[in-house]
Amino acid sequence: MTTKAYGAHAADLPLGPLNITRRAPGAEDVQIEIAYCGICHSDLHQVRSEWAGTLYPCVPGHEIVGRVSAVGSRVTGFAAGDLVGVGCLVDSCQHCAECADGLENYCDHAVGTYNGPTPDAPGHTLGGYSERIVVHQRFVLRIRHPEAQLAAVAPLLCAGITTYSPLRHWRVGPGHKVGVVGIGGLGHMGVKLAHALGAHVVAFTTSEGKREAAKALGANEVVVSKNAGEMAAHVKSFDFILNTVAAAHDLDPFFVLLKRDGAMALVGAPPTPHTGPLAFNFIMKRRSLAGSLIGGLPETQEMLDFCAQHGIVADIELIRAGQINAAYERMLAGDVKYRFVIDAGSFGA
Ligand code: NAP
Ligand code: ZN
């Protein structure tokens, strides 16, 4: 089916309108009319080919919410009219150990919502900056938030699960002191979720202008990380730090804030290496440095249900398709509180 979309034909070209083709739903497929799609910094990394291997045309978008319009004959959990979401994955091998554990995100054959291998034209997946998408039922999530919140639910499909999964893996909860570094799309969700899990939350930002705003998200304290004195006050005090920064930076000033046995998990994915930490900063306090990739489908549903129960959504700025290129520049400048979301009704306008 011909579907209006927004994408780019090369790394150095802006995004613009284009027509793509979606397959007719197969027996296991769910066809979704997209209502909103969030803008993740990964969209920018990919469409500008900052990571290796971008295929063109590139249609980004993996924070997708909308309504089911058709289902295949073997689809059991969804029916036309249901409110659903799709995140960063649209397929995986579905039989390896990772898939069996519900960790499809770590499957070696996981298929990204864009730039992944597919038999569908043009040979790679095309994402949510489009009016419609067809997805295997295993990769469709149920949305239990009120429909009025739908646009603000979209960022949960990537920013939400990417921060929820490490917070849960490192068992963040009451009595824990947790840092969130970089208060952008991911970071603002990290603050909200760590707060809802009962932790004492410290937001680290490079933006003086986010000092008060970050408290409104649920941070107990805010540190402007450029100020060495503010950083020094927190040395050896954190159980866990979630680092969401989208650019390479020196990890050591954050790493030394961990107490004995503390861990810092990287979720930011800059294309060039970070510097630090020094070996001695691992050794002296038995600290760990780790990473985390989005989350599996069961945990993504758990996160959506947790957010519905706790009334958690993203803080968003709703835009039209024609504003995407300008939104990318503003995201790079840190000028968004905290996630752009595209009204999918504007792809055809
Ligand atoms: P974003 O909205 O642009 O937020 C990133 C934040 O990092 C900025 O708002 C800024 O926060 C801080 N920052 C940016 N450049 C910085 C610099 N040079 N030095 C220090 N701080 C800087 O991006 P996002 O959508 O949250 O994504 C963040 C990163 O996570 C991206 O690299 C993205 O590709 C990656 N990602 C990874 C996964 C995963 O599964 N691991 C999933 C989704 C996204 P302050 O203004 O507060 O300093
Ligand atoms: Zn993302």
∠ CA 269-275-281, rounded to 5° = 115
The rounded Å distance from CA 44 to ligand 1 centre is 11
Residue 91 forms beta bridges with which residues?
Answer: 111
Residues 91 and 111 sit within 8 Å (Cβ to Cβ): yes
Q: Which atom, in ligand 1's list, is nearest to the CA of 332?
A: 3
- Tell me the three state secondary structure of residue 203: strand
Instruction: Please give the DSSP secondary-structure letter assigned to residue 322.
Output: G
Q: What is the pLDDT of residues 123-137, one digit of tens each?
A: 999 999 999 999 999
Q: What is the pLDDT of residues 308-332, one digit of tens each?
A: 999 999 999 999 999 999 999 999 9
Q: Which atom, in ligand 1's list, is nearest to the CA of 214?
A: 47
For the entire predicted model, the pTM comes to 0.98
For each of the domains in the chain, give its residue range(s) and CATH number, in order of start: 2-158+315-346 (3.90.180.10), 162-291 (3.40.50.720)
CA–CA distance from 156 to each of 103, 303, 313 (Å)? 18, 8, 7
Task: Please give the helix or strand (H or E) that residue 32 lies within, else none.
Answer: strand 29-38
Q: Would you say residue 342 has pLDDT above 90? A: yes
The rounded Å distance from CA 283 to ligand 1 centre is 28
Please give the pLDDT value at position 52: 85
Q: Which atom, in ligand 1's list, is nearest to the CA of 187?
A: 26
Ligand number nearest to the C-alpha of 269: 1
Q: What is the pLDDT of residues 153-202, one digit of tens each?
A: 999 999 999 999 999 999 999 999 999 999 999 999 999 999 999 999 99
Amino acid letter at 111? V
What residue ranges line ligand 1, CB within 6 angstroms?
A: 40-42, 45, 158, 162, 182-187, 205-207, 210, 244-247, 249, 267-270, 292-294, 331, 334
In angstroms, the CA 59 to CA 114 distance is 7
Residues 14 and 57 sit within 8 Å (Cβ to Cβ): no
In angstroms, the CA 338 to CA 283 distance is 36
- The protein residue with its alpha carbon nearest to ligand 1, atom 23, reads 41
Residues 106 and 88 sit within 8 Å (Cβ to Cβ): no
Mean pLDDT confidence for 260-266: 98
Ligand number nearest to the C-alpha of 265: 1
Mean pLDDT confidence for 49-71: 97
Share of the chain above pLDDT 70, in %: 100
Put the strands of the sheet holding 200-205 in their side by side order.
Answer: 221-224, 200-205, 177-181, 238-243, 258-266, 288-291
Please give the pLDDT value at position 259: 98
Q: Is the dihedral of CA 248, 252, 256, 257 positive or negative?
A: negative
